[in-house]
Amino acid sequence: MSVFDWASRNLDPTQLPDVFPVEVFDSLVLCASKILHKEANCVAVDQLGPESTVVVVGDLHGQLHDLLFLLNDAGFPSENRFFVFNGDYVDRGAWGLESFLILLAWKVFLPKSVYLLRGNHESKYCTSVYGFEKEVLTKYGDKGKHVYRKCLGCFEGLPLTSMVGKYVYTAHGGLFRSTPATPKRSKGKKNRRIAFNPDPSSTLSLGSFEELNKARRSVLDPPWEGSNLIPGDVLWSDPSMKPGLSPNKERGIGLLWGPDCTEDFLKKFQLKLIIRSHEGPDAREKRPGLGGMDNGYTIDHIVESGKLITLFSAPDYPQFQGTEERYRNKGAYIVLEPPNFDNPVFHSFEAITPRPKANPFYNFEEVIDSDEELDLASMATSP
């Protein structure tokens, strides 16, 4: 952590291999990937005792210095201090690679205390649009493609969700649909194509943890059609104030779910809290009826069985902004305490100032602010 902090202030990005050689990168990613790929789609953070606390963290987006502050402020991971990160480690900010590598190192060091979930930005499509691919190619030069490929492979291994104790579900985007079993082809009819759930919106219902754990998460980009829709739902969905479950037309992938669905999900699985991330101040500006992200969190649904919270941990986001007027939002993390780990304690914090000078790795003035209007055509054609 201290080396990356120092390098961000004193070295050119192209000098990162001087302090973190590609051989060290390879061994860290290999070691971390082996651990991550063995974890379930929904990791159980349940080795909790009376001395334990669990820190939940939202989007980080390559804002290295704010991540370092958060780790210092919350206290480093330990045998009794668990961390669950809800994804979006990379893109937009200038130090996505360093941020991700620090978290992988903590994962390897304390695999049972640190849990790294996948965000929608841990994908080939997002990293090619929002800067991470270019960041890696810039920092590692002729080894850049190799490093980027290894990062994508590691992203594929990240679990999708977590269950903290008995009562708290966390994920990057949120809830997910039930997927009907794929019909089996009968012998001798190999060439007959079977239409899979032709109109998913007509039969939308909430999925189960059994379905979640059966989903295939090792995809570079979660599909928005076909049978493997749960990863896309978990990573891209958003809450709404409008009741019901519907396709997320704004994003082109995932779902919108209302307070009734939050209640149904909590009640069905005997939960009290959903902590998700995925929406920063830019996204919330366009969501009528939902709170802004000024303090790094919002309580979106309060229902009979519990609450739905959105948590965002990147303050003064995005790092590079095309307008004079900045959002100047705070970031936040949540601490869950014994005995039931279901009563969230919010910790908001300001951005570290001044940030070291850095150049963006994407054209921030042309790329839309939030991840709306997913370019499905380019995802489908990207090699």
What is the pLDDT at residue 370?
Answer: 59
CB 296 within 8 A of CB 58: yes
DSSP state of 141: G
Decide if pLDDT at 1 tops 90: yes
Query: Other C-beta atoms within 10 Å of 182: how many?
Result: 12
Report pLDDT digits (tens) over 173-223.
999 999 986 555 545 444 444 444 445 445 899 999 999 999 999 999 999
Q: Which of 61, 65, 121, 172 is catalytic?
A: 121
Whether omega before 354 lies within 30 degrees of 0, making that bond cis, reads: yes
Mean pLDDT of 264-287: 96
Phi, psi of 27 (to 5 degrees): -70, -35
∠ CA 313-247-383, nearest 5°, is: 75
What is the pLDDT at residue 323?
Answer: 81
Phi, psi of 48 (to 5 degrees): -105, 135
CA 145 from chain center: how many Å? 23
Which superfamily does 1-179+203-380 belong to? Metallo-dependent phosphatases (3.60.21.10)
What is the pLDDT at residue 53?
Answer: 98
Distances (CA, A) of 17 to 20, 29, 96: 5, 15, 15
Mean pLDDT of 129-150: 98
Distance CA 168, CA 336 (A): 9
What is the pLDDT at residue 29?
Answer: 98
What is the pLDDT at residue 273?
Answer: 98
Output the DSSP codes for 65-127: HHHHHHHHHH----SSEEEEE-S--SSSSTTHHHHHHHHHHHHHHSTTTEEE---TTSSHHHH
Whether omega before 318 lies within 30 degrees of 0, making that bond cis, reads: yes
Decide if pLDDT at 60 tops 90: yes
Distance CA 73, CA 314 (A): 14
Distance CA 316, CA 361 (A): 18
Whether omega before 180 lies within 30 degrees of 0, making that bond cis, reads: no
Distance CA 70, CA 351 (A): 10
**What single letter denotes the amino acid at residue 194?**
I
User: Which residue, 282, 264, 292, is CA-closest to 319?
Assistant: 282
Mean pLDDT of 27-31: 98
Distance CA 76, CA 130 (A): 29
What is the pLDDT at residue 366?
Answer: 85
What is the pLDDT at residue 288?
Answer: 84
Report pLDDT digits (tens) over 68-101.
999 999 999 999 999 999 999 999 999 999 999 9
Distance CA 45, CA 77 (A): 14
- Residue spans per domain, the chain: 1-179+203-380
Token pair recorded at residue 145: 């493609």
How many helices and strands, by DSSP H and E, does the chain display? 13, 14
Report pLDDT digits (tens) over 345-369.
999 999 999 999 999 999 998 886 5
- Reported as a pLDDT band with limits 50, 70 and 90, residue 375 is low
Decide if pLDDT at 156 tops 70: yes
Across all residues in the chain, what is the average pLDDT? 93
Q: 245-247 and 255-257: which strand pairing?
A: antiparallel
Token pair recorded at residue 317: 């986001």
- Reported as a pLDDT band with limits 50, 70 and 90, residue 374 is low
What are the residues facing 68 on neighbouring strands?
Answer: none
CB 89 within 8 A of CB 151: no
CB 356 within 8 A of CB 6: no
Mean pLDDT of 141-168: 98
CA dihedral 2, 170, 376, 88 (to 10 degrees): -10
What is the pLDDT at residue 248?
Answer: 96
What is the pLDDT at residue 283?
Answer: 94
User: Which residue, 47, 161, 72, 73, is CA-closest to 345?
Assistant: 73
Question: Which H/E stretch holds residue 152?
Answer: helix 144-157
Report pLDDT digits (tens) over 296-332.
999 999 999 999 999 999 999 999 998 888 999 999 9
Token pair recorded at residue 221: 């980009």
What is the pLDDT at residue 373?
Answer: 53
Assess whether 121 carries a catalytic annotation: yes
Q: SS in 3 state form for 172-220? A: CCCCCECCCCCCCCCCCCCCCCCCCCCCHHHHCCECCHHHHHHCCCCCC
